[in-house]
Amino acid sequence: MKRKKMNIQIRIPKVMKRSGFYFLCMVVLFVLIGLLTTISPAYRFSSQAISEWTKKIESPTFLYLLGMENKAFKQAYPDDHHMPKVTATVLHLATSIKPNDPRSLLGNELPGFAIFDNNILIAGEGTDYTNLPIESSPPLEEVSKDRDAIVNEKEKQVEKEGENEEKNAPSTGNKKVVYVYNTHNTESFLPNLPGVTNPDQAYDNKVNVTKISKRFSQGLKAEGIGTEISDADIMGILNKKGWQYAQSYQASREVVQDAFANNKDIQYVFDIHRDTGRRENTTKTINGKTYGRVMIVIGEEYASYEKNLAFATKFHYLLEKKYPGLSRGVLTKKGKGTNGVFNQDLSNNSILLEVGGIDNKLEEVYHTADALADVFSEYYWDAEKVNK
């Protein structure tokens, strides 16, 4: 007789399987904790290291992960976006290369390509990565030259129109709540420099962006907003200290710090510049009047940059509402080839404005200064009502 082989299967209950898995996970967890707490401090993960590592992960990834636990977060996730690919995220963490963004690779390999690593947070009319403001660094001797700049009769007339203008508006009284300065105070305009055609020579000690600041300040004062305008010659400070043009923000930082030390009422700070862009990108005609367009720049290399970014965003949309096309958008800067702070860490309401370009006329940027004062005064007094 043939004997039948009996197959005996021992079934382990699912509960025991899960318990064993959880137990194993706990053991691994405690082993890892033990390793992290006993190894030499030099090899431990610091909060700063973790912060540097995780900041490479794009915000939609975190939002999606939170949405997996709390569906309320999924409502904020755009309908046309999907869960970021794990392989792409891991590659980005390991190499800082984004598969869908060639700038992340080329910026490290091609000289000068790092300037395209800036982020256009809000793109105004016609703004893209081919016409962003560029932080040039010319020789200081070129920047400091006197070039016999001229101001024509029409520009003189427009300049007089902004003087002694008074409006029936509320007032900050004796408080000077706005501070205006110019880090690159000799940036000038080719139409005011006879015989100069080289953009790298568009600098002058008298006819320059300080005139925009003065006009802007006059407009704010007419709206009842007390304004302090700096007369500091930053390029002169660089010369005196033997510093290079690239150290301009280091020199202007001391000026801004002194202003805060001497005036506790300062709430808003504007650093006014002139872009190196050409006329087709920096000029806009609105209701028959020509303006030098504005790019709002925010540095990202300090802890509180998001507060300044919120201010810049509101300001952009207010400009767009009243002067469509005047704002070129909001640009954030960090990394190689840029300052990344722009002294904006000294205030939560600080922005850098690139007003016009090398081809703009003085009267055009005066129009812009008037528009900036008009829009900001509405913003300021609305904010004051809310605060009260």
| Same domain membership, residue 147 and residue 62 | no
- Percent pLDDT > 90 in the chain is 43
Q: What digits encode the pLDDT tens for the residues 55-66?
A: 555 656 666 666
**Mean pLDDT, all residues of the chain:** 80
Decide if 196 is inside a domain: yes
Decide if 34 is inside a domain: no
**Mind giving me the DSSP string for 282-313?**
HEEEETTEEEE-EEEEEE-SSTTHHHHHHHHH
Residue 40 in this model has a pLDDT that exceeds 70: no
Residue 283 in this model has a pLDDT that exceeds 90: yes
* Tokens standing for residue 248: 């301009």
Query: What domain count does the chain have?
Result: 2
Domain at 247, CATH number: 3.40.630
Decide if 338 is inside a domain: yes
Q: Which residue has the tokens 């710090």?
A: 257
| Same domain membership, residue 94 and residue 144 | no
| Same domain membership, residue 349 and residue 275 | yes
Q: Give the distance from CA 120 to its chain's centroid.
A: 9
Give the list of residues 6+ apart from residue 42 with CB closer than 8 angstroms, or none: none
Helix (H) or strand (E) holding 28: helix 14-38
**At CA 271, angle to CA 265 and CA 273, rounded to 5?**
160
| Same domain membership, residue 194 and residue 73 | no
* Tokens standing for residue 87: 């392989």
The pLDDT confidence band at residue 334, using thresholds 50, 70 and 90, is confident
Q: What digits encode the pLDDT tens for the residues 139-191?
A: 676 777 777 777 776 777 777 666 656 666 788 889 999 999 999 999 999 99
The per-residue pLDDT for 345 is: 92
Segment of 125-134, 286-295, 378-387 carrying the highest mean pLDDT: 286-295
Decide if 113 is inside a domain: no
Decide if 223 is inside a domain: yes
| Same domain membership, residue 225 and residue 96 | no
Q: Letter for the amino acid at 340?
A: G
Instruction: Say how many residues make up the chain.
Output: 388
Q: What digits encode the pLDDT tens for the residues 177-228?
A: 999 999 999 999 999 988 888 888 899 888 999 999 999 999 999 999 999 9
**Mind giving me the DSSP string for 104-153?**
HHHHHHSTTGGGGGSEEEEE-TT--TTS--------HHHHT--------H
* Tokens standing for residue 145: 């030259």
Which domain does 209 fall in, by range?
140-387
Decide if 40 is inside a domain: no
